[in-house]
Amino acid sequence: MTRRHAHNPPGPRAWLGLLVVLGPVLLVSMDGSILFLAMPRISQALTPTADEALWILDVYGFAVGSLLIAFGSIGDRYGRLKLLMIGATVFGAGSAGAAFAPSPELLVSFRALMGVAGATLLPSALAVLSELFSDARHRARAIGVFAAAFAAGFAVGPIVGGVLLERFWWGSVFLVNLPVIVVFLLFAPVLLREVRATRPGRVDVPSVAASAGGLVLTIYGLKHMAADGVSVSPLVAALLGMVLLMWFALRQRRLEHPLIDFSLFRDRVFTLAIITGLLPLAAWSAAAYLAGIYLQSVLGLSVVRAAVLALPGAVVLTTSCIVTPAVVDRIGKRTALVVCHFSIAAGLLLLLPTTITSGTGWYIASTAIAGVGYGISFSVVADTAVGAVPAERAGSAGAIAETSNEIGNALGIALLGSLAALLFRLQGPDLAPTLDETLRLPDLAPTAAREAKAAFVTGLHAAAAVAGLLHAVLGTVALRRLPGPVPGEPGPGTPAPMADHVEGDAR
pLDDT-derived band of residue 96, with 50, 70 and 90 as boundaries? very high
Quick check: 452 and 428 in contact, CB under 8 A?
yes
Q: Please report whether residue 357 resides in a domain.
A: yes
Report the distance separating Cα 298 and Cα 295, nearest Å. Answer: 6
**Among residues 430, 421, 433, 465, which one has the least CA distance to residue 451?**
430
Sign of the four-CA dihedral 125, 131, 133, 137: positive
Identify whether residues 48 and 158 lie together within a single domain: yes
| pLDDT for the residue 73 | 67
| pLDDT for the residue 3 | 38
| pLDDT for the residue 110 | 92
Identify whether residues 411 and 363 lie together within a single domain: yes
Report the distance separating Cα 378 and Cα 137, nearest Å. Answer: 18
Q: What angle do CA 146, 149, 153 make, to 5 degrees?
A: 145
Residue 129 CA: distances (Å) to CA of 280, 393, 467: 24, 12, 33
Report the distance separating Cα 58 and Cα 189, nearest Å. Answer: 32
Residue 245 CA: distances (Å) to CA of 65, 214, 277, 328, 403: 14, 5, 19, 33, 14
Q: What is the CATH number of the domain that holds 366?
A: 1.20.1250.20
| pLDDT for the residue 479 | 84
Residue scoring higher pLDDT (473 or 149): 473
Question: Is the predicted pLDDT of residue 146 greater than 90, yes or no?
Answer: no
Interval 167-181 mean pLDDT:
85
Report the distance separating Cα 234 and Cα 228, nearest Å. Answer: 10
DSSP tag of 392: G
Range of the domain at 212: 205-256
Axis crossing angle, helix 360-387 with helix 136-167, rounded to the nearest 10: 140
Interval 143-158 mean pLDDT:
72
Report the distance separating Cα 264 and Cα 474, nearest Å. Answer: 20
Question: Is the predicted pLDDT of residue 494 greater than 50, yes or no?
Answer: no
Interval 326-345 mean pLDDT:
85
Identify whether residues 359 and 412 lie together within a single domain: yes
Question: Is the predicted pLDDT of residue 496 greater than 60, yes or no?
Answer: no
Report the distance separating Cα 68 and Cα 212, nearest Å. Answer: 9
Residue scoring higher pLDDT (130 or 427): 427
Per-residue 3-state assignment (H helix, E strand, C coil) for 287-299: HHHHHHHHHHHHC
pLDDT-derived band of residue 134, with 50, 70 and 90 as boundaries? low
Among the listed ranges 97-106, 296-305, 464-473, 481-490, which one has the minimum average pLDDT value? 481-490
| pLDDT for the residue 223 | 67
Report the percentage of the chain scoring pLDDT > 70.
77
| pLDDT for the residue 67 | 76
DSSP tag of 367: H
Average pLDDT, the chain: 77
Residue scoring higher pLDDT (11 or 199): 11
Identify whether residues 313 and 434 lie together within a single domain: yes
Question: Is the predicted pLDDT of residue 6 greater than 70, yes or no?
Answer: no
| C-alpha radius of gyration, the chain, whole number | 22
Question: Is the predicted pLDDT of residue 278 greater than 80, yes or no?
Answer: yes
Identify whether residues 223 and 279 lie together within a single domain: no
How many structural domains comprise the chain? 2
Among the listed ranges 73-87, 133-147, 336-350, 451-465, which one has the minimum average pLDDT value? 133-147
pLDDT-derived band of residue 72, with 50, 70 and 90 as boundaries? low
Which residues does residue 501 pair with via DSSP β-bridges, in sequence order? 4
* Global confidence as pTM: 0.70
Residues 6+ apart with CB under 8 A from 110: 94, 95, 97, 98, 101
Identify whether residues 354 and 464 lie together within a single domain: yes
**Among residues 269, 135, 209, 252, which one has the least CA distance to residue 507?**
252
For every residue of 401-455, DSSP letters joined together read HHHHHHHHHHHIIIIIHHHHHHHHHHHS-SSSSSHHHHHTSTT--HHHHHHHHHH
Question: Is the predicted pLDDT of residue 461 greater than 90, yes or no?
Answer: yes
Identify whether residues 35 and 140 lie together within a single domain: yes
Question: Is the predicted pLDDT of residue 243 greater than 90, yes or no?
Answer: yes
For the segment 404-444, what is each residue's pLDDT rounded down to a tens digit? 766 776 677 777 887 888 888 888 887 877 787 788 788 88
Identify whether residues 133 and 228 lie together within a single domain: no
Identify whether residues 300 and 167 lie together within a single domain: yes
Overall size of the chain counted in residues: 507
Identify whether residues 429 and 372 lie together within a single domain: yes
pLDDT-derived band of residue 459, with 50, 70 and 90 as boundaries? very high
Question: Is the predicted pLDDT of residue 504 greater than 50, yes or no?
Answer: no
Question: Is the predicted pLDDT of residue 493 greater than 50, yes or no?
Answer: no
Residue scoring higher pLDDT (228 or 475): 475
Report the distance separating Cα 121 and Cα 152, nearest Å. Answer: 17
Quick check: 287 and 462 in contact, CB under 8 A?
no
DSSP tag of 421: H
Question: Is the predicted pLDDT of residue 337 greater than 60, yes or no?
Answer: yes
Identify whether residues 67 and 216 lie together within a single domain: no
Identify whether residues 233 and 290 lie together within a single domain: no
